[in-house]
Amino acid sequence: MTNSALPAIVTRFAPSPTGHLHIGGARTAIFCWLLARHHGGRFVLRIEDTDMERSRQEYTDSILASMRWLGLDHDGDPVYQRQRFDLYNEAIDQLLAGGHAYWCRCSPDEVETMREKARGEGRKPRYDGRCRDMGLAAGPGRVVRLKAPLSGRIVFEDMVKGHIAVEASELDDMVLRKADGSPTYNLAVVVDDIAMGISHVLRGDDHVNNTPRQILIYRALGADLPLFGHVPMILGPDRQKLSKRHGAKAVIEYEKDGLLPEALVNYLVRLGWSHGDQELFSLEDLVRLFDGKNLNSAASAFDPEKLMWVNAQHLRGQSPEALLPRLLPFLAEAGVPATDEPLMARCIPLVQPRANSLTEMAAQLRPLLTPAKDLIYDEAALARAMTPEGREHVRALRTTLGALVDFDRESLHACLHGYVEQRALKFKAVAPPLRVALLGSAGGPDLADAMAALGKSEALARLDKALQL
């Protein structure tokens, strides 16, 4: 087969809307999206909402919002399984008509008894096939089962796990249509994956045991198989099942915490895929490099500290102009004045090297963006630094700085150093009072940088205010 005859790459993400999008699901979605984008294929979204009790619209909305935030755009409208029961029933009818499926009248209790019996005899618990050749018709309480092959092997090459083979005798005749008329998960997934032209089914390895069963449905429907790939679960740092206690959150929480979506994408991709030992990737890098190979078959552990580190690196790589609009909601949330755009653009580089998230950045910008008249001083820091001697330094510096013509960082550096050297002082005698007078607390960016960013009149106004306290 020549390349041009190869089927187009179509991947899908198929969340069940029974909760918010968590990092495991997000990583699966990212892999599927990257694979499609890398090959110029399609990425489609299917909402698996057949569980009427647990599925909720608010979760669908939240999953869609998280995907939008992550930048995982899907092709075409999302497909809702709930709207496709006709399609599933048609497939079931086709299987019945072709002799690949049959009606079964065994009650759940009877099936449970068969399972018990098998367990008791040391065999795999399974349905014993008693209705298989009875030629039963539809009827209340009846289910439809697949007439699975009794011998042979089901074999597939998993994109992640490699060669997988299962004896057909291991699998029983699975239910395709439940007694209430709804399709089972395995039936609906296969019918949809065929109808949607999915070429690569990449999903969590909690589904790997479903795949041989799904392959039987593909065969019975006479459809070609897609490629399957099952990515290992993300574990907690203690190698246990990942949960909240490990600091793992829903994607919307990370958005609220001020992570950059591209950083979360970068971190999550690296949890199951590698490109040499490179740690930092832009979205463009990932689209270019991610070809579905080099997926780890071993489970990786979630590390919240590394996630923050990756986020900090992405924050540092942004231009202040690009960060500014992304910071606005966080400044608003924190009640930090955010109207003076040139001032913000000057101050952002000062906090960029010190903040790990947009939330931290907004907090660190507060003393810089709050005008002198509203600046709140940390009482303890003020008391510590504004000793009579400290106050004298601030007063003297106020005069010296007031006489400066150029108020850029070089001139300010020279001015501060000149002040210290002339008086044979240590910088640490002068910096703390100046800092608290200027920014309201201990800690923060370089003083010359801060003053240059604030501008002369604002910097002097702050010193004046502190001297009056």
Least gap, CB of 291 to ligand GLU (angstroms): 20
Least gap, CB of 313 to ligand GLU (angstroms): 31
What is the spatial distance between Cα 112 and Cα 128, in angstroms, rounded to a whole number? 11
What is the spatial distance between Cα 37 and Cα 39, in angstroms, rounded to a whole number? 5
Contact 415, 400 (CB under 8 A): yes
> In terms of CB distance, is 26 or 358 closer to ligand GLU?
26
Which span (9-17, 248-256, 258-266, 301-309) binds ligand GLU, by CB under 6 A? Answer: 9-17
What is the spatial distance between Cα 294 and Cα 292, in angstroms, rounded to a whole number? 7
What is the spatial distance between Cα 437 and Cα 8, in angstroms, rounded to a whole number? 64
> In terms of CB distance, is 159 or 460 closer to ligand GLU?
159
If one asks whether residue 48 binds ligand GLU (CB under 6 A), the answer comes out as yes
What is the spatial distance between Cα 129 and Cα 133, in angstroms, rounded to a whole number? 8
Contact 327, 365 (CB under 8 A): yes
Given 10, 14, 286, 430, the residue binding ligand GLU (CB under 6 A): 14
Amino acid (one-letter) located at 332: A
The SS3 of residue 183 is: strand
HEC profile for 284-333?
HHHHHHCCCCCECCCCEECCHHHHHHHHHHHHHCCCHHHHHHHHHHHHHH
CA-wise closest residue to 39 among 75, 64, 71 = 75
If one asks whether residue 263 binds ligand GLU (CB under 6 A), the answer comes out as no
Which span (8-16, 173-181, 290-298, 420-428) binds ligand GLU, by CB under 6 A? Answer: 8-16
Q: How many residues does the chain have?
A: 469
Which span (11-19, 133-141, 242-250, 335-343) binds ligand GLU, by CB under 6 A? Answer: 11-19
> In terms of CB distance, is 243 or 387 closer to ligand GLU?
243
Which span (13-21, 83-91, 282-290, 447-455) binds ligand GLU, by CB under 6 A? Answer: 13-21
> In terms of CB distance, is 12 or 398 closer to ligand GLU?
12
Least gap, CB of 24 to ligand GLU (angstroms): 9
Strand partners, 233: none
> In terms of CB distance, is 47 or 394 closer to ligand GLU?
47
If one asks whether residue 362 binds ligand GLU (CB under 6 A), the answer comes out as no
Determine which helix (DSSP H) or strand (DSSP E) holds 164, and give its type and residue range.
strand 162-167
Question: Using the 8-state DSSP alphabet, how is residue 144 labeled?
Answer: E
Least gap, CB of 86 to ligand GLU (angstroms): 20
Contact 367, 440 (CB under 8 A): yes
Of the residues 244, 249, 426, 465, only one is catalytic, namely: 244
Least gap, CB of 268 to ligand GLU (angstroms): 16
Number of residues located near ligand GLU, criterion CB under 6 A: 7
Which span (12-20, 131-139, 413-421, 438-446) binds ligand GLU, by CB under 6 A? Answer: 12-20
CA-wise closest residue to 175 among 208, 211, 126 = 126
If one asks whether residue 66 binds ligand GLU (CB under 6 A), the answer comes out as no
**CA 316, 318, 320, 326 torsion: positive or negative?**
negative
> In terms of CB distance, is 207 or 409 closer to ligand GLU?
207
Amino acid (one-letter) located at 56: R
Given 9, 10, 11, 16, the residue binding ligand GLU (CB under 6 A): 16
If one asks whether residue 158 binds ligand GLU (CB under 6 A), the answer comes out as no
Residues 163-222 that bind ligand GLU (CB under 6 A): 189, 203, 207
Amino acid (one-letter) located at 184: T
> Phi then psi for 454, rounded to 5 degrees?
-70, -35
> In terms of CB distance, is 196 or 328 closer to ligand GLU?
196
Given 9, 11, 15, 79, the residue binding ligand GLU (CB under 6 A): 15
**Residue 117 falls in the annotated catalytic set:** no
If one asks whether residue 398 binds ligand GLU (CB under 6 A), the answer comes out as no
If one asks whether residue 11 binds ligand GLU (CB under 6 A), the answer comes out as no
| Six token digits for residue 201 | 């089914």
Rg (CA), the chain: 31
If one asks whether residue 326 binds ligand GLU (CB under 6 A), the answer comes out as no
Least gap, CB of 229 to ligand GLU (angstroms): 11
What is the spatial distance between Cα 9 and Cα 305, in angstroms, rounded to a whole number? 35
Q: Give catalytic residue positions.
A: 244
Binding site for ligand GLU (CB under 6 A): 14-16, 48, 189, 203, 207
